[in-house]
Amino acid sequence: MPVLNREKLKEDGSNYLDWIRTLRITLRYENKEYVLDEDVIVLGENPNPDEVTTYNKHYDESTKVACLMLTTMASGLQKKFETWGAFATNQQLEEMFQEQARQERFEIVKSLMACKLQEGAFVCAHV
């Protein structure tokens, strides 16, 4: 978990891609990454014991991940998402910062594509 506390998610989302990648790696290690992609199920009127157990596990892990997400955000974002679950928070952050992240990826690919070996230059210098 100390890895996540190195740099908090900034309110402008300028480090969103790095933050979400680090969060997902950490959650994958803890076998909890699924809570970012799956909302907590709604129990029916007469749930069987397995459904209750699954619900309780997912709810508990979602709450823990939501708290972890909050501790790794700037205070303005913390206030906004204080009462949200992990899935809803992830969906909203993705919506807020996805366009910015998409543009960042585009600029990186564009610069890589523009990088060409000049005629007569050594490959070592290019690399």
pLDDT tens, 84-99? 999 999 999 998 888 7
Tokens of 53: 């157990």
Decide if 15 contacts 99 (C-beta within 8 A).
no
Q: What was the pLDDT predicted at 33?
A: 96
One-letter amino acid for residue 110 of the chain: K
**Alpha helix (H) ranges present in the chain?**
16-29, 34-37, 49-71, 75-81, 86-114, 123-126
Which of 19, 49, 52 lies closest to 36, judged by CA?
19
Which residues does 51 contact at the CB level (< 8 Å), separation at least 6? 41, 43, 44
Q: Encode pLDDT of 45-94 as tens digits.
A: 889 999 999 999 999 999 999 999 999 999 999 999 999 999 999 999 99
High-pLDDT (> 90) share of the chain, %: 56
The confidence score (pLDDT) of residue 85 equals 93
> Average per-residue pLDDT in the chain?
86
Sequence spans of domains, the chain: 16-126
